[in-house]
Amino acid sequence: MPESDPDESLVAELQALFARSDPVPPVVDEAARAALGWRRLDADLAELLGDSALERGELVGARGAGGPARSVSFRAGGLSIDLEIHVDGAECMLLGQLSPGAAVEIEIQTLDDDLAVTAATDRLGRFRARITGGRSIRLRVPAGGGPASARAVETSWIGI
Amino acid sequence: MASARSLIGRASDGDQAAWNAIVDRFSGLVWATTRSYRLADAEAADVTQTTWLRLVENLDRIHDPDRLGAWLATTARRECLRLIRRSGRELASDDEWVLDTPTDDPLDGPLLARERDAALGRALARIGERCQALLRLVALADPPTYEEIGAALGMPIGAIGPTRARCLDKLRRSPELAGHSSA
C-alpha cells in the first residue's frame, strides 16, 4: 500500500489506542513464560481427541443441575482415557476410565502444584476424583498404566 | 529474530530464552484473538494460558514453524469457543462469527485521556463487534498476516482485505471522527 494511504494512518492511531487501553496484562505474559515449565520430560502426550463442550447441537447451553456431563477423551498410542466431568457447585466430580483397564495411581495435576490430587483406578481402569473447578488440569498415568507401559502418559491440559 | 524453527527446537529442549522469544512475538496475537470473543478479563487470561500450554505440549509436533502464528490463533479461537460453550453461553451468531451490531461497552475509562482516543473509542463501539475484532487484530504492533487473522476469527482469508477496508471506512465516517482530520 502507498505510504499516503489514509487507512494506514488510521491503523497507526488504532495501534496506539489499543497499546494504551488493552495491552497484554503483565501477569498473563508471566504465565505464558512459565508454561514452558510444564513440558513433558518423561511422558508421552495423550492428545485431546473429543470434547463435548466443542460439539454443536442441543447440548449447547444445557449445563448445571440436571444437565448432561461434559465428556472428554484422550488417546496416546494404545491407551485411551475417557473422562466425564460433572459440575457440582464450585467442585467438579471426575469419573474416568482407562482402556485397557489397569489398577494404577493416576495423578490429576493443576497449575498449582499444591492442588494435585491422586485417584486409584480399579482393575477395570475406572476412577473417580473431586477437584475444585475453574482451573486447568491434566492427568498423568504412570508407566505400567497401559499397554505401552514403558513410559508414563500425560494428557493435554483442559479447563474445568 | 532467530527462525521460528530454531526457537521451537530450542524451546522443546527447555531453553527458556527461546520460549520467551516465541511468547514475545505472538503474545499480542493470542491476546487480541481472545478479545474477539468478548470474554471477561479472567476468561481471556485462562484461554491465553491454555493456548500457551497447548503449544508447550505440542512443541515437538509443530510441522510448519512458519505458520506458528496461525497455529496459535487457531488454538486460541478453539479455546475461546470451548470456554463459551462450556459456560452455557451461546455465540452471537450461528456461524461462529460475531454479529455486526453496535456494542455498549466501548473502550472507555481513564486510560483514554486524550480526546482523540475517546472519540476513537466511541467510534469503535459504533462500528460493530465484527469490525472491532478485525481492527483489533489489524492494529497489532506486529501486524499479523491475513492467514493469522483468518485463523483468529474463523474467517476466510479472501474476505479479510475487503472487510478491513470497509471497517476502516465505517470508522472514518462515524460521526465521532467525520470532520476531524486524523493526526
Q: What is the pLDDT along chain B (183 residues), one digit of tens a residue?
A: 689 999 999 999 999 999 999 999 999 999 999 999 988 899 999 999 999 999 999 999 998 999 999 999 999 999 999 998 887 776 654 333 443 444 445 554 444 456 888 889 899 999 998 899 999 999 999 999 999 999 999 999 999 999 999 999 999 999 988 865 544
How many Cβ atoms sit within 10 Å of the Cβ of residue B131? 22
Nearest CA in chain B to A40: B57
pTM, to two decimals: 0.86
Q: Are strands A152-155 and A43-51 parallel, antiparallel or unpaired?
A: parallel
- Give residue-wise pLDDT tens across range A67-115: 578 999 999 988 999 999 998 888 999 999 999 998 999 999 998 877 7
What is A40-159's CATH number?
Answer: 2.60.40.10
- Contact yes or no for B50 and A136 at CB 8 A: yes
Listed by start position, the domains of chain A span 1-39, 40-159
A-chain residues near B78 (CB < 8 A): 54
**What single DSSP character describes residue A65?**
T
> Would you state the cell numbers that stand for residue B27, as one nine-digit string?
503474545
CA B8 – CA B100 distance, rounded (Å):
38
ipTM of the complex: 0.86
Tell me the residues of A at the B interface, defined by beta carbons under 8 Å apart: 6-7, 9-11, 13-15, 17-22, 24-25, 27-29, 31-33, 35-36, 38-40, 45, 51, 53-54, 60-64, 70, 111, 136, 154, 156-159
Q: Which domains are seen in chain B, by residue range?
A: 4-173 (1.10.1740.10)
Among A21, A31, A61, whose Cβ lies nearest the Cβ of B107? A21
Antiparallel, parallel or unpaired: β A70-76 and A43-51: antiparallel
